[in-house]
Amino acid sequence: MTELKQQDSVGKVWFVGAGPGDPELITVKGLRLLEQAGAVLYAGSLVSQATTLYAPKSTVVCDSKGMTLEEITDWLITQAQQHKTVVRLQTGDPGLYGALVEMVQPLDQAKIDWAVVPGVSSAMASAAAAGETFTLPELTQTVIFTRMAGRTPMPEGEDLESLAAHKTTICLFLSITLLADVQKALVNAGWDGDAPILVVQKASWPDEEKIVRGTIKTIHDQCRAEKINSQAMIIASPALGARYWPEIRHSKLYDASFTHRFRKANK
């Protein structure tokens, strides 16, 4: 790894959440940092290259999709020696499946200052694209963000079958190639095979987004027919499709008979 003395450090590394895909879904703060960045390292396999166009033409821009962790951190440290503002542009939010700790430990060791700018997760973008809500009064008030075990094993007690037993909203990242296992885990946890399930590929990506609605029984075959095998969010929730229900429980916040500090109830 590149060695760097504290007094040589002139720049700061910003880990910026680029959002789910649409370049306009980056935060205002993230946009401003890109506009003043001397160097940008973006995750080209997941982040739209269009997002890097916010940076000046003089900015050093590099795609990290073929780089190892050590190559990424060496690049960030080297650029921080030369530029005041260095941006590591990551998909969604850097703190969610973003390998953040792995990247900042070498920066800490090299005495490089860094900070995080949060971003819009693909989970939120997927629900927005489909017009769905994660929570509904008296039905589900909890959202679980998780993934299926693959080459990265799951910690004890965090397998999908155990989590799904709560019968709450579940957002599954990085699991579309294991959709058959998802089906099995949900059914084993007590979900009805006819329960609705939602898959959104490349949520918010202009002209690339795909939305597939099905049931736990049918969703695997539907996604195969649509050739969806990467960059897809799986959402299982008792609230799916609620906008079409004839009756739902309404939030107390807007109930005329409910008093809160900004409004007195109408009796």
What are the pLDDT digits (tens) for 184-207?
999 999 999 999 999 999 999 999
pLDDT > 70: percent of the chain: 92
Q: Residue 7 pLDDT > 50, yes or no? A: no
Could you tell me the two tokens for 208? Answer: 């690339």
Q: Residue 56 pLDDT > 80, yes or no? A: yes
SS3 102: helix
Q: Which pLDDT score is estimated for 2?
A: 43
SS3 265: coil
Please state the pTM of the whole predicted model: 0.89
> 23, 31 in Cβ contact below 8 A?
no
pLDDT digits (tens, 9 = 90+) for 87-104: 999 999 999 999 999 999
Contacts of 144 (CB under 8 A, 6+ apart): 163, 166, 168, 169, 170, 171
Q: Residue 122 pLDDT > 60, yes or no? A: yes
Contacts of 220 (CB under 8 A, 6+ apart): 179, 180, 183
The β-bridge relationship of strands 39-42 and 60-63 is parallel
The phi-psi region of residue 123 (left if phi > 0; otherwise alpha if psi is between -120 and 50; otherwise beta) is: alpha
Contacts of 89 (CB under 8 A, 6+ apart): 16, 18, 34, 40, 41, 42, 43, 47, 51, 52
Could you tell me the two tokens for 127? Answer: 């629900």
Strands in 210-215's sheet, in edge-to-edge order, are: 143-147, 169-173, 232-236, 196-201, 210-215
Q: Which pLDDT score is estimated for 252?
A: 64
Q: Which pLDDT score is estimated for 3?
A: 42
Ordered structural domains, the chain, with CATH:
6-117 (3.40.1010.10), 122-244 (3.30.950.10)
> 43, 62 in Cβ contact below 8 A?
no
Q: What type of residue sits at position 220?
A: H
